[in-house]
Amino acid sequence: MALSLTSAEQRRVADAIRVLASPLACASEEEWRGLATEHARSATGLGSGVLTMADERGLEASTDGVDPSRLAAYAQFFPLLERCGVLARGLHLGVCTRREIYGPAYERLARTAYTQDFLPSIRSYDALSFIVPLVSRPRALADVVQLTLSVTERGRSVAEKQRQLGHLLYPALTAGIDACTAMRSTRSRLCATLDATGLACLVADRAGRIVHRTPGLVALCSREPKREALLALASRLALSFWSEAPTPRAALDGSAATYALSATEVHDGRDAYCVVAVSERRERRSGPLAPEAAARLGLTPRQAEVAVLLAERWTNREIAAALAISVHTARHHVEAVLERLGVPRVEVGRAIRPL
């Protein structure tokens, strides 16, 4: 059957292909998902749609608002529904309908609880699914990306023309998913780089949502009784980073330490993220070195500050956090101080404040 399109339909299809294939043109992956779903729905003439990425579980998301007393029973039903779907996906990768996905498994599903909730919709409301595999042989929901566009009228099936339109859009969706996968890989390398530093950091998106925590931060939080309040403060700092809101400052009553938080912006090639570094801040036990003493020792004002902290056995990382400088710069100052004083690190206290 030849596909015939009006000029208006041709424009909608062209717009959908452009959006589906161009996630990098959007400010974020979330924005692209919304636009891609809307344009695909418009181009095919179908109703509501949902684009489920590989790190989400659409079945669990559908339980929002369900009475807690029924949630346990639903949870028993979901694994079977997922297994049936994944089994069918292995046979129907690409563009297919809901009835093609769940039809072969209908009898198995009919013997489960809550069939009155799920099976009537499977049988009565059809949908067009675009299934993009992320691996050569998908075996779980995490191995595929699925865009589902539903028929809104009971009893109606996906029309042949809508299926053909779906085949037109599928290559563009595949290209868009490939671009998103590449960007996620870039973000993973960014997070791996942060992990390797050993710093206590979190990565947050523009909405203030924490998308990654380094092992250093996990270790820090494990010994902090007020860890949730600390993470909430870091999230607020990330959220204020891109707005005109005042930088949050709050004391964590009952916390195990005093912390210094600093934020910076990084990019993964498309999306912008805020990296918040969290460091334990030690309180200085002694006052600053007198100017005349620093002059006598040949130390600059910054080196005098570093010398006082060395005398209290602070590490380079702690010195960097206290003076708001990088660890590399702190190490440079420490080496300069030790060279100027001509003593090892453990003897700095005696050198600057002799008895």
Question: pLDDT (tens digit, 9 = 90+) per residue, 28-81?
Answer: 788 888 999 999 999 999 988 888 876 655 545 454 455 666 666 666 666 766
Instruction: Assess whether 249 and 129 both reside in one domain.
Output: no
pLDDT on residue 181: 83
pLDDT at 292 over 70: yes
Q: What percent of the chain has pLDDT over 90?
A: 17
Range of the domain at 314: 291-352
Position 123 scores a pLDDT of 66
The helix/strand/coil state of 6 is coil
pLDDT tens column, 293-308:
888 889 998 999 899 8
**Pair (132, 210) in one structural domain:** no
Can you spell out the DSSP letters for 189-226? HHHHHHHHHT--EEEE-TT--EEEE-HHHHHHHHT-TT
DSSP string spanning 134-157?
SSSS--SGGGEEEEEEE--STTPP
Residue 258: strand, helix, or coil:
strand
- The whole-number pLDDT of residue 19 equals 95
Q: Where residue 126 sits, what CATH number does that domain have?
A: 3.30.450
Of the candidates 160, 184, 208, which is a domain's last residue? 184
Mean pLDDT of the chain: 79
Is residue 98 located within the same domain as residue 240? Answer: no
Say yes or no: 337 and 275 in one domain.
no
The separation between the first and the last C-alpha atoms of the chain, rounded to the nearest angstrom, is 98
Average pLDDT of span 204-210? 78
**Which one-letter DSSP state was computed for residue 136?**
S
Which has more pLDDT, 32 or 326?
A: 32
pLDDT at position 253 is 44
Q: Output the pLDDT for position 61.
A: 45
Using 50, 70 and 90 to split pLDDT, how confident is the model at 250?
Answer: very low
> What mean pLDDT is predicted for residues 124-151?
80
Q: How many independent structural domains does the chain possess?
A: 3
Identify the burial level of 159 via C-beta atoms within 10 angstroms of its C-beta, where 0-12 means exposed, 13-18 middle and 19 or more buried: middle
Range 144-150 average pLDDT: 85
Instruction: Give me the mean pLDDT over the 81-93 stretch.
Output: 68
pLDDT on residue 141: 67
Judgement on whether residues 112 and 145 belong to the same structural domain of the protein: yes
Supply the pLDDT for residue 166: 92
Res 25 pLDDT > 50: yes
Last residue of a domain, one of 228, 253, 281: 281
In a shared domain, residues 118 and 172: yes
Q: Is residue 191 part of a domain?
A: no
Q: What is the pLDDT of residue 284?
A: 62
Kindly report, residue by residue over 264-275, the tens digit of the pLDDT.
888 766 677 888
Calpha distance 236→299 (Å, rounded): 39
CA distance linking residue 338 with residue 24, whole number of Å: 50
Residue 96 lies in a domain: yes
**259 in the same domain as 340:** no
Establish if 190 belongs to a structural domain. no
Is position 32 within any domain?
yes
Last residue of a domain, one of 219, 252, 281: 281
Residue 305 domain-assigned (yes or no): yes
| 189 assigned to some structural domain | no
Residue type, 258: T
- Residue 100: the pLDDT is 79
Residues 142 and 204 in one domain: no
* Helix-, strand-, coil-residue percentages of the chain, each rounded to 5: 55, 15, 30
Q: Are residues 225 and 338 in the same domain?
A: no
Together in a domain, 232 and 262? yes
Q: What is the Cα–Cα distance from 215 to 112, expressed in whole angstroms? A: 42
For position 336, which CATH number holds? Answer: 1.10.10.10
Q: How confident is the model at residue 172 (pLDDT cuts 50, 70, 90)?
A: very high
In a domain, 2, yes or no: no
pLDDT of residue 174: 93
Residues 143 and 134 sit within 8 Å (Cβ to Cβ): yes
Same domain, 204 and 175: no
Same domain, 276 and 297: no
Residue 242 has pLDDT above 50, yes or no: yes
